[in-house]
Structure 1
Amino acid sequence: MPAEVETELLGGTANRGLVVRVGDTVRRPLRASSTATHALLQHLESVGFKGAPTFLGVDSQGREVLSYLTGETVTTPYPDWSMTDEALDSVAHLLRAYHDAVADFRPVGYEWAEPVPPAYVTGLISHNDPNLDNVVFRDGVAVALIDFDLAGPGSALWDIATAVRLWAPLRPEADIHDVRRGRSLTRLRRFADAYGLTDEDRLRLVDAAADNHVWCMDYVRRGAETGHPWFHQRWTTGEADLTNRTNTWFTHQAQALREALL
């Protein structure tokens, strides 16, 4: 029998070069939190949520096996369709559908990857990394989330803060190098509206996004300091400076961001 053909899948940082497609499956490295992640994916499958991979087991090389989801993810250079307001709306709708599907998942005794700040933990298992390359699109519409490595106890607000920070995006104008430049405030409001964000969470969203940026960049910094090659490359080729600029930007723009959500 011929050997199975493995095709490397692009995107991401933590597992770059280690995620492959084999036929209709994806093979990924196991992690300390894999048992928890697999339980989450099994729950999503049990409630009929189609917007996540299916956990299929562990292969002979000790890698987790997931179903391959057809479609496109958003990587640079960003295609025009991925930067539209309609694509943004669909990400918000997908995230809301995920939160509805996971709302009654109550895991006990699992080890998760990266703790979320306690102020943003409500008991809901959030994805925690709805980055551009972790959303699968078909015909310009977001249909699935992938890469649940950072999933864990969090909240809908924390996921929304993560997503809108990256998709609006929320950062200095000079650091936005695509058609979204000049539209961050508009897209922030649009995402909140498309998700159906509550008034209470609207009041907290700007602070949550700023805190999320600190949390995420601290994760990257620690990865760089412990010798992860791709995190080190990312941190030492501009990410550290961008982090400082963005932290300052959040401080200066906080009121304008809050007003955009009213």
Structure 2
Amino acid sequence: MTGENGEDILAGGLGSGGAIIRRGNVVNRPAPPHAAAVHAHLRALRRAGFAGAPEPVRLTGDGREELTFLPGEVALPPFPAWSQGAGVLRSVGALLRRLHRASAAVPFDPDAGWPGELADPEGGPLLCHNDVCRENVVFRDGRAAALIDFDFAAPGRPVWDLAMAARYWVPMRPEAGADAAARLRILADGYGLGAADRAALPRIVEQATRRGREFVARRVAAGDPGYPELLASRGGWAAWDRVEEWQAAHRAAFTAALTAPGVPRSAC
């Protein structure tokens, strides 16, 4: 959508907190409270060789930030058919692995006020993105090329970040049906996940799902706009119950698919 003065109003997730505006090659958006630390991290990722994230331009002083616009396609609801393919899923895993390799080489300030809402409860050695949903991945030529919206980045384990991504991209929900185990394997293969993390991944997905439920519950209780309606449109808390029950019931199948012969050797 185009606003006044030729500005483009970009679609933003519920957590964005306000309008996201593109002016040429710059995106102006609400800044998280810890924006200075996020900007420092994004610059460090660039220095470490990771080009799949926006470059910070500046903090504007009015509670907003400016970052470079990343060209490409983003899958928005209703999600297009092209975003469901196995090649796309594999490329999401590969992109997340590239992020983690760069992030592992970048020191971070543990006291920078990283948000805990979607963070790994066990903490970890690098900054995870924590919100690799469909709306936060930029595609070029049918492959995941970049990540946007690092608002929920926080210290964690790489496998936690992958579990969070699996929730959206497999997706780890009953509607994924019989393909869920095979798609989880494709995502893990694309990432190059090691054997120990493969065995642990199904339970970590369950843990991440509970984290997501707690996040939504806090937002609903706080009266954040959009969350009560979103919850209702997706079946309310009963739907969350079904997701958690389904994940637990299929844990053995997921583990078997992930650890079957032919697992790629970890690149770590």
Q: TM-score, with normalisation over the residues of structure 1?
A: 0.91
For residue 122 of structure 1, report the CA deviation from its aligned partner: 2.0
Paired position in structure 2 for 1:45: 46
Residue by residue over 1:194-214, the C-alpha shift from the partner in whole angstroms, topping out at 9 and shown as x without a partner, is 211011101110011010011
CA distance in 2 between partners of 1:111 and 1:247 (Å)? 30
Which of 253, 258, 261 is the matching residue for 2:250? 253
What 5-or-longer segments of structure 2 have no aligned partner? 260-268
CA change 1:77–1:118 in 2 (3 A) is: closer
The residue identity in structure 1 corresponding to 2:256 is: E
Partner of 1:190: 186
Alpha-carbon contact 2:127-2:154 (below 8 Å) kept: yes
SS in 2 for 1:14: helix
What TM-score, normalized by structure 2, do the two folds share? 0.89
Q: Equivalent residue for 1:25?
A: 26
- 8 Å CA contact 2:17, 2:30 repeated in 1: no
Q: Which amino acid aligns with 2:90?
A: D
Is contact 1:51–1:143 with CA below 8 Å preserved after alignment? yes
Query: Aligned residue for 1:96?
Result: 97
- Taking the aligned partners of 1:100 and 1:60, their CA distance within structure 2 comes to 32
**Runs of 4 or more off by more than 6 Å in structure 1?**
none
Verify: 1:216 aligned to 2:212, yes or no. yes
Contact 2:12 2:19 in 1 (8 A): no
1:103–1:124 CA contact under 8 A, matched in 2: yes
Mean CA deviation greater in 4-13 or 243-252 = 4-13
Letter matched to residue 194 of structure 2: T
**1:186-232 deviation line (CA, Å, top 9, x unaligned):** 11111111211011101110011010011012111101110111222
1:159 aligns with 161
Secondary structure (helix, strand or coil) at the match of 1:41 reads helix
Q: Deviations over 1:159-179 (max 9, x none)?
A: 110111211111113xx5xxx
Report the AA paired with residue 21 of structure 2: V
Report SS of the residue matched to 2:217.
Answer: helix
Contact 1:8 1:21 in 2 (8 A): yes
CA distance in 2, matches of 1:67, 1:16: 19
Secondary structure of 1:183's counterpart equals: helix
In the alignment, residue 211 of structure 1 is paired with which amino acid? Q
Q: Mark the CA change 1:249 to 1:39 in structure 2 (over 3 Å): closer, same or farther.
A: same
Identity in percent:
37
Structure 2 vs 1, CA of residues 82 and 226 (structure 1 numbering), >3 Å: closer, same or farther? same
Report how far residue 17 of structure 1 moved.
4.6
